[in-house]
Amino acid sequence: MIEKIAESVQGLDTLNRLLATPGREVVRGRDVVYFFNEGGKTYARLEDDRVVETSDDLGAQAARFHKYFLRCQRFYLVRLDKIKGISRRYQEWLADFPEMDFSRCLKGSAMEAHRSFYSTMRSADRARERSRDYEFNLYGTERRVPITKTYHAAVKRALDIRHLSHLTPEDKWLKKLRLLQLKDFGMREFHAAKPVTPAQVEAFKEKWDIKRFSREKMLVHFRRVGAAEIDRVMVIRNILWQFYRWIGWGIEPEVDGNIRSLWYRVKAVLAYHSDILQASDVELFYSTLSSMVENDRLFRYKDFGFMDMNEPYRGVGAKRPEVVLASEKLGHYRFIMRLAGEIGASFICLRGEPSHLSLEYFADDLRAACGRKKIEVYVISDIDPAGFSIESNLVKRLEFNGLKMGRRVTLVDVSMFSDKEIEIFRFPVIRYRREGSSLVALPPSTHGQLTKAMEWFFGSINDQRLFGQMMIDGQETFIIYGIESDAADQLAVRDRFLKAVAR
């Protein structure tokens, strides 16, 4: 113990030694991250990332700080306690190809380009591995220091590691897949095969297609923690992940249909092998896919090639594509198409709550036409909680898909209607009663619907003309009303739109 304390005291004393500098700057060993030689002169890079020339060469510095600095290359001397990690130098080479990220594989006819890139990357990887070209990541500076083969053994002894890769920072994408319990079965085997023939693809699928796994093989790879049974959610997640990857690699064709078509495609193959999913699991399948898109952000719905059933009812403007005129009703299609056409704006009929899939396609089309311009949204929706939700979700989904949002304008509101018109057009959204200190929704409405109606009315509308009370069955009953957007005069809506856009 006394020897260790003495060694620590000696270390503090050593690192406190002053360095000789031509400029007579006060620099101590503890201020230095690493020494390096350049142009016949020796320099010290300090913790504030400044560089100071030193009078002594690297050999003298290595002798002075022999237990605290490490030679890792002919021209570099690194302080041991500043080592954060070790990286392979090929990672910088890969950074030159961001569009080739494996998380977004190329599709269709581009498959050969993807395979060519993968082959090139693997060749470079093997060449780098043969040369064992590593570098230190250090605390106190963003710069990296090379580790050459000559000094590998000394570095490993000093750090007490068997391989330099033991300190290599973990790939964040692979870590994410592992935490989500997703597996890329046979990826290296597939990409190693050149060229890939139809027979090879079929043999590969026979071996690695999760849908064809037996129940025993499913249990090996997808066992529920603490039980001898298959985790169905984990199976669905991995099947969906494999579908996405294999579509990108050209192994699986895109889905010819909608999400339900994909469900039947999965269920049909599973039925012949493990038969672990029942017809009642369809909702579990949908919710798992939604979670992987919405929460995990692993892929998008459109990556599967699903049909956009809303495609005929939207368009991107030729002159002002960043202006989006939207309506929740399909019946407004011709009206908003003509109105958007007057100024060359974009338009979309949502047909109820915005389809996540449709808005992925629409957002991509808008981005291609608008670039980085902010999107202005002008919405025709019913004056009721559902219309308010549709309008809000439209904006949220466009933002979710990477668009920057500007103005949001509601084109139909209560100010457009006279008192008499409201009496004629309004309809009951919800009826409720007060029972003690509680509010109770009257059937067929639910408590959840009552909560949403209250939030909408008192948070956004708060207009006495859409609130009423009456005696029903001898009890005082309260009513919140709404108004259909169809009741609004189209000429007035047109006038509002054109004036709002002109501001």
User: Which tens digit of pLDDT belongs to each residue from 75-109?
Assistant: 999 999 898 888 776 443 333 333 334 334 334 44
**What does the block give as tokens for 453?**
């109606």
Claim to verify: residue 318 and residue 291 sit in the same structural domain: no
The answer to whether 323 and 317 have CB atoms below 8 angstroms apart is yes
Q: Which residues contact 212 (CB under 8 A, 6 or more apart)?
A: 205, 206, 269, 273
Claim to verify: residue 296 and residue 191 sit in the same structural domain: yes
Claim to verify: residue 377 and residue 285 sit in the same structural domain: no
Per cent of the chain over pLDDT 90 is 57
In a domain, 180, yes or no: no
CA distance 453 to 204: 55
Range of the domain at 467: 427-482
Of 267, 282, 304, the last residue of a domain is 304
pLDDT for 470-495, tens place per residue?
Answer: 988 889 999 999 999 999 999 999 99
In a domain, 103, yes or no: no
Claim to verify: residue 148 and residue 287 sit in the same structural domain: no
Which of 40-44, 163-167, 168-172, 422-426 is predicted most confidently?
Answer: 422-426
In a domain, 120, yes or no: no
Claim to verify: residue 72 and residue 138 sit in the same structural domain: yes
pLDDT for 343-395, tens place per residue?
Answer: 999 999 999 999 999 999 999 999 999 988 999 999 999 999 999 999 999 99
In a domain, 421, yes or no: no
Claim to verify: residue 206 and residue 162 sit in the same structural domain: no
Claim to verify: residue 25 and residue 141 sit in the same structural domain: yes
In a domain, 8, yes or no: yes
Claim to verify: residue 83 and residue 140 sit in the same structural domain: yes
Q: Which residues contact 220 (CB under 8 A, 6 or more apart)?
A: none
Average pLDDT, the chain: 85
Claim to verify: residue 254 and residue 194 sit in the same structural domain: yes
**What does the block give as tokens for 127?**
């060449």
In the sheet that holds 345-349, the strands lie side by side as 314-315, 345-349, 320-327, 375-380, 405-410
In a domain, 355, yes or no: yes
**What CATH number is associated with residue 349?**
3.40.50.140
At residue 166 the predicted structure's pLDDT band, cuts being 50, 70 and 90, is low
Q: What's the Rg (C-alpha) of the chain?
A: 33
Which comes out higher in pLDDT, residue 109 or 286? 286
In a domain, 408, yes or no: yes
Strands (E), 232-333: 314-315, 320-327
243 has pLDDT over 50: yes
Claim to verify: residue 145 and residue 67 sit in the same structural domain: yes
pLDDT for 214-234, tens place per residue?
Answer: 999 999 899 987 788 999 999
Cα angle: 476, vertex 477, 478; to 5 degrees: 130
CA distance 450 to 194: 62
Claim to verify: residue 235 and residue 321 sit in the same structural domain: no
Domain count, the chain: 4
CA distance 304 to 24: 66
Claim to verify: residue 435 and residue 474 sit in the same structural domain: yes
pLDDT for 303-332, tens place per residue?
Answer: 999 999 999 999 999 999 999 999 999 999
| Residue 91: per-residue pLDDT | 41
In a domain, 114, yes or no: no
**What CATH number is associated with residue 145?**
2.40.50.1020
